[in-house]
Structure 1
């Protein structure tokens, strides 16, 4: 079976700002998983052990990218795909490491989802709003990982808090399930 939609997974954030790098760390791990699958590594490999085996094969069909703090450059990253899955840090009223799934239209409408982190030149919601007006949007799903630092607080570190680091595998499982839903039956 193949996916019915073209899908891009984008990790956003800044690796030098601790927990804000969660999106980048997540797509880095997913890229390693995709490379191992392409190399024919068995699903019994420890890198795959915590993830739904029925969804793993679909990882080879998606595009995975580190979008960093791309700002307005993100506009071109949205083109040519039916569905975009964004992984980023956010600040809301949830516990550290909590994961929120936000549909693109809800994020654009400001449906009480907190604030996507603003270490980017321009915030993700702002870029999506511009894209909606200028070029149209594919289906957007955002997995936001709750961090506790205020978005304007700058602590240069590559270390993430244990709770946010632990969220990476949970986000990957959720993203794999999201991809699996797009499998043509």
Structure 2
């Protein structure tokens, strides 16, 4: 089974960079058995279609306007995803929704597609996440690890391996 975690977002727009930041943290701090692929999808949009075709199961990590308090985290599966992406926070959201629509149209959807979303506090220009979203990254990662473990993948914190 091929599994991918794709963090999408614009790292130049504060909380928009949460998805790529999460994939960076996972790459630097965790080992997955069997191995899974971690992808910084940035603002690639439809250019991510080959990844959608490649994997059996995918987690997309992104900021989503849930109309909730900043830092709110929600897991969306399959048909729940597009309605939330109709509210666009930035130009790349068009790409994620279009990516899912094109994958459905081409009949190349993975067996399972999950979006782990977090409500941003700000998407102003800047390199740093807001304190609120940065403070929720561990919770976001916990949710991702639970999903991956439910798929039979063992997640090991790198620092524990070296001991």
TM-score bracket, normalised by the shorter chain, equals: 0.7 to 0.9
Q: How many matched pairs?
A: 152
CA RMSD of aligned residues (A): 2.1
Residue 44 of structure 2 aligns with which residue? Answer: 70
Is there any run of 5+ residues in structure 1 with no aligned partner, and where?
38-56
TM-score for both structures, normalised by structure 1: 0.75
Partner Cα separation in structure 2 for residue 10 and residue 116 of structure 1: 19
Matches within 5 A, 1:129-148: 129-138=101-110, 139-148=112-121
- SS state at 2:94 partner: coil
Instruction: Indicate the larger mover: 15-24 or 75-84.
Output: 75-84
**C-alpha deviations, 1:96-120, integer Å up to 9, x for none?**
0111101122113x2x677363331
Partner Cα separation in structure 2 for residue 161 and residue 148 of structure 1: 7
Matches within 5 A, 1:3-152: 5-34=1-30, 37=31, 57-58=32-33, 61-108=35-82, 110=83, 115=87, 117-120=89-92, 122-138=94-110, 139-149=112-122
Question: Which one has the largest radius of gyration?
Answer: 1
Answer 1 or 2: which has greater helix percent: 2
Partner Cα separation in structure 1 for residue 52 and residue 89 of structure 2: 19
Maintained 8 Å contact 1:91/1:148: no
